[in-house]
Structure formats: structure tokens, C-alpha cells
Amino acid sequence: MYTIVTDDYTEYRRHDDNDIIDRVWGNIWLIDDVVYSDSYGNGMIIHPTDGGTEHVLGLIAGGSVIIANTRPNGARGQQYGSDIKINAALLAMNGGFLSHYWQNSLLDYHNWNDGLGFGIIADGRGGHRNHYRSDEQSGIYTGDDDHRGTVHLWGSIVQFKRGYMNRNFPGPYNVSPGVGYTKDYHYDWNLQLRPPPYFPDLQSNDNSVILKMASYGEAKSHE
């Protein structure tokens, strides 16, 4: 049983102006599958009714939990691999659970200076990653398709704000299939018996509780 925790953020003085203090959020980046050794090949955990598993993983990010734009995770429209499998209880204290959509290989939505509309962000690096290309080389893009597969998650998700997992039409990323993932989420009922150790409360600066981890479970139906 393990829980991995980051700081909320780290502050530093800018090298170009020491009077300016900037910050880097404590994100957790998933670069490939994260699965228990006794899980099935498709990433499904052993449920308690079948004997359960003793493996428990908590991922607590002070910022966000981000599925990185990597070849194993389906970069470039699944040219080298696809999907990601996750066995973990995820907690994004000040952010969300999201895909690395702003680094993409879409033709018209990849660069910060493309004249993009409101709601679109891009770091301009997607055409030069997976595999690496120098800045002197032209980027390679995949048209309207940087769909990376499916997120197969057996665990739980708690996030301060819902993170974007797929950006496409309709929306500011006016393309299809766009960039990101389809969701395949399943609750890990083992967490009812063995929650990750030391999952914290989420508190404001005056120590008032904004979000408290009271229990694990699925939301009741309101049909």
C-alpha cells in the first residue's frame, strides 16, 4: 500500500528578474500504464468478490494528474501505441485529472500563435515530439486526428475541477476526432476495504475544510 504525494506548488525566483517570484504546480505526469502486478491484461483489478488484491496506490497531486503526450499513451493519433491503463485512487488537490491536450499534433490547433480562439491553449511543441525534431526542422502534424485511445481506469477520481480529457467538436477545438481520450472508468471496490494511506483533507488558507475525503464509493442513482 503506497500513496505518492506532491507539494501544492514550488515557488522560485525568475532567472531574468530576481524580484519576480513565480510558481510551478505539483503535478503528477503519467507517461505509461500504471497497473498492479496481479491485474488482468486489460488493466482490470481483481474485485473483492473474486478474492481481491492487496495492492493499493494513491496518487495525490497538489496540482493536477496529467496523462502525458507520449508514444505509449497514444501520441500522434495512436501511430506508436494507444490507450492507458490506470490502477489508482487519484486526487487532484487544486486541479483536475486531464489529458496533455495542449501539446498535440493537430494541424490548426498546436501553436500558441496560431490565432486560436478563446478556450484554446497550445504549447507549439506537438509537431516536434514523438519522435523529437529540432526547432530548425518543420513540425509533422496529423490533420484533425490526435485521438489517443481510451483511458481504462480501475480506481477512483477526486478533483478540484473537472479536467478536460478530450477536446473536439463541438467546442473551441472545432475538429473531429480532435485530441484526447475516450473514458472507460470503473470503481475499485477494494478501496472500500483498503483505502490508500494518508489521504488528506483539502483546506483553505484559514484551515476551513473545502473538501473532505469521507469515504470511497459510487454515487447513488437518482433515477
Does 220 have pLDDT greater than 70?
no
Mean pLDDT of 218-222: 45
- The answer to whether residues 124 and 112 touch, using CB atoms and an 8 Å cutoff, is yes
Does 205 have pLDDT greater than 80?
no
Per-residue pLDDT of 140-196, as tens digits, reads: 999 999 999 999 999 999 999 999 999 998 888 889 999 999 999 999 999 988 888
Domain ranges, residue 32 = 2-211
Q: Does residue 13 lie within any of the structural domains?
A: yes
Q: Does residue 200 lie within any of the structural domains?
A: yes
User: pTM of whole model > 0.75?
Assistant: yes
Per-residue pLDDT of 121-145, as tens digits, reads: 888 899 999 999 998 999 999 999 9
Query: What band does 90 get if pLDDT is binned at 50, 70 and 90?
Result: very high
- The answer to whether residues 64 and 98 touch, using CB atoms and an 8 Å cutoff, is yes
Residues 6+ apart with CB under 8 A from 16: none
Which residues partner with 12 through β-bridges?
22
Count of domains for the chain: 1
State the chain's mean pLDDT as an integer.
Answer: 88
Q: Does residue 82 lie within any of the structural domains?
A: yes
- The answer to whether residues 41 and 33 touch, using CB atoms and an 8 Å cutoff, is no
Q: Does residue 221 lie within any of the structural domains?
A: no
Does 216 have pLDDT greater than 60?
no
Coil, strand, or helix at residue 165?
coil
- Strands (DSSP E) contained in the chain are 2-5, 9-13, 21-25, 28-30, 57-61, 65-67, 84-92, 97-99, 145-159, 166-167, 178-187, 202-203, 209-211
Q: Does residue 114 lie within any of the structural domains?
A: yes
Q: Does residue 218 lie within any of the structural domains?
A: no
Q: Does residue 152 lie within any of the structural domains?
A: yes
